[in-house]
Amino acid sequence: MKATDKEIDPGETAKISFKWDTTGVRGVRGSDFTVFYTEEGREGLRSFPLSVRGNIIPLFDFIPEKLEFTVGKSETKTVKLVPRKEGQSVIIPITL
Q: How confident is the model at residue 1 (pLDDT cuts 50, 70, 90)?
A: low
Burial annotation 49-74 (CB, 10 A radius, 16+ → b, else e): eeeeebeebbeeeeeeeeeeeeeeee
Domains in the chain: boundaries: 14-95
Percentage of the chain exceeding pLDDT 90 = 7
Q: Does the pLDDT of residue 2 top 60, yes or no?
A: no
**How far is Cα 38 from Cα 57, in angstroms, rounded to an integer?**
37
Mean pLDDT of the chain: 79
What CA dihedral angle connects 22, 24, 27 and 28, to 10 degrees?
-40
**How far is Cα 36 from Cα 49, in angstroms, rounded to an integer?**
9
The tens digit of pLDDT for each residue in 10-48 reads: 888 878 777 888 888 888 888 888 888 888 888 988 898
pTM above 0.85, yes or no: no
Asked if 3 and 13 count as a contact pair (C-beta separation under 8 A), the reply is: no
